[in-house]
Amino acid sequence: MKLSMLAAGLLALALGTAAQADEKPVLTVYTYDSFASKWGPGPEVKTAFEKTCGCTLKFVTAGDGAALLSRIRLEGKRTKADVVIGLDTSLTAAARKTGLFADHGPLPKLDMPVTWTDPTFVPFDWGWFAFVYDKAKVKDVPRSFEALAKSNLKIVIEDPRSSTPGLGLLLWVQKLYGDKAGEMWKRLAHNIVTVTPGWDQAYGMFLKGEADMVLSYTTSPAYHINVEHDDSKGAALFDKGNYMEIEVAGKIAGTKHPKLADAFMHFITTEAFQKLIPTTNWMYPVIKLSSPLPKGFAEYRPKISLLYPSAEVPKIKDKALAEWRDALSQ
C-alpha cells in the first residue's frame, strides 16, 4: 500500500518534469559531474552553444569519466545521449569497442604535444599529471621517481581503481619502467602516506598538511595563483617526462539529432568553447587561443610528454594494477 503510494508519487514527479519540455529540439550531452557543475565549463558552454544552435542543450551527468563510460555501456544502443564529453585517453579504446560512437569530421589545427590521429574522438582539453607541492616546505623538488624514492618526502596518491589521476600515475610508472614498474612501486612505498579513493580527498589532505606532495596536475598551481592569488604551490616536472591526460568527446552514432550533434562536435574545438577551459577545467585548450593562457600555465610545462596509445591501455592496465597492488600491499 505504501509502496504503491510511493510509486504514484514518483510517477507524478516524473510527469511534472516531462510537462516542462519545450518546442526546441534538445541535444542531450552526457558528461562527468564536475564539467556540468557551477564551477565547471558546463553552464557557459550551454549558454554559448544555445546562442547559435536554436536548440536546448541538456547535460546529463555521471560521477566521472569512468562512471560516464559505465553508464554508456549500461545503456547500450538505447542510450539517450547524442554526444558524450569527458572520456579520456585511458578509456577511449574501451569506448570504441562499444561500437556506439561515430567518427568525427575534419578538425582544425590542434595545439597539443602529441599528434592526434584518433578517427572517432575529438580532444577538448589536455594536461599533465604531476606531484604538486608547497614551495615553503619542499625545497629540493625531486625531478624523477628515483629522486622521489630516495627522498623522505611524503606523498598522497589516488587509487587507480577508483580515480582517473590514480590510473594516470599507474600508466606513468608503467610507461617509464616497464617490467621494472613493480620494483619502482616498492621503492616508492615508504613515501606514500596513503591512497585515497578520489582526487578531491587527496588534494584536501595535501592542503591540510597531511603530505608534502599530492598527485594532481601541472596546472593545479595556476588555480591557486589566479583564484586565490597564492603563489605558494608548485608542480614537480620530471626529467624523463610527465604522463598526459587528454580528455575527449564523441558523437553517438545512433543520435536522433545528427546535425545538432555534429554542430556541437565542431563547436568543441572553436575558440568560444576552448577559451572557457583554462579557468574552469584548469586544463590546456586544444587550440591556440587569441588571448594568452592564465598565469602559471607556462611555468610548469614538462619537456617530455608521456602517453600510451589508447589501444594499448586495456592490454597493460590489469598487469600494471596487479604489480601496483602487490608492491604496495607488502
Partner 1 sequence: MARRAQPVGRRAGAAVALGLVALTLGTLGAVAWRAVGTWGLVEGLGPADWAALRFTLLQAGLSAVLSVALAVPVARALARRRFFGRRALIALMGAPFILPVIVAVLGLLSVFGRGGILNAGLAALGLAPLSIYGLHGVILGNVFFNLPLAVRLILQGWLSIPAERFRLAAALGFGPSQIARQIEGPMLREVIPGAALAIFLICLTSFAIALTLGGGPRATTIELAIYQAFRFDFDLGHAALLAALQFAISGAAMLLALRLTLPQASAAGLDRPVERWDAASPWLRAQDAVLTTLAALFLLTPLALIVTQGLPTLLSLPGIVWTAALNSLAVALASALLATAAALALALAISGPRPALYEAAGMLPLATSPLVLGTGLFLILNPVIDPSRLALPVTALSNAAMALPFGLRALVPALREVEASHGRLADALGMRGLARLRLLIVPRLRRPLGFTLGLAAALSMGDLGVVTLFAPPEGGTLPLQLYRLMGAYRMNEAAGAALLLLILSFALFWVFDRGGRADADT
Give contact residues for partner 1 (rule: CB under 8 A).
1-3, 6, 9-10, 13-14, 17-18, 33-34, 37-40, 60-63, 66-67, 69-71, 73-75, 78, 80, 94, 154, 159-162, 167, 189, 192-197, 199-201, 203-205, 207-211, 220, 223-224, 227, 282, 317-318, 321-322, 324-325, 328-330
- In the complex with partner 1, the residue whose CB is nearer, 59 or 267, is 59
Give min distance, CB of 177 to partner 1, in A: 18
**Pairing status of strand 83-88 against strand 192-196:** unpaired
Give min distance, CB of 301 to partner 1, in A: 20
- In the complex with partner 1, the residue whose CB is nearer, 47 or 270, is 47
How far is the C-alpha of 189 from the C-alpha of 270, rounded, in Å? 44
Give min distance, CB of 173 to partner 1, in A: 14
- In the complex with partner 1, the residue whose CB is nearer, 181 or 287, is 181
- In the complex with partner 1, the residue whose CB is nearer, 73 or 301, is 73
Residues 6+ apart with CB under 8 A from 69: 87, 91, 94, 95
Q: Residue 130 carries which side chain, given as an amino acid letter?
A: A
Nearest Cα to 169, choosing from 281, 330, 306? 306
Give min distance, CB of 329 to partner 1, in A: 4
Give min distance, CB of 4 to partner 1, in A: 9
Give min distance, CB of 280 to partner 1, in A: 8
- In the complex with partner 1, the residue whose CB is nearer, 276 or 287, is 276
- In the complex with partner 1, the residue whose CB is nearer, 120 or 201, is 201
Cell representation of residue 30? 552526457
Cα dihedral: 302, 308, 313, 319 (round 10): -80
- The string of DSSP letters for 92-156 reads HHHHHHTT-EEPP--------SS----SS-EEEEEEEEEEEEETTT-SS--SSHHHHHHS---EE
Cell representation of residue 127? 594536461
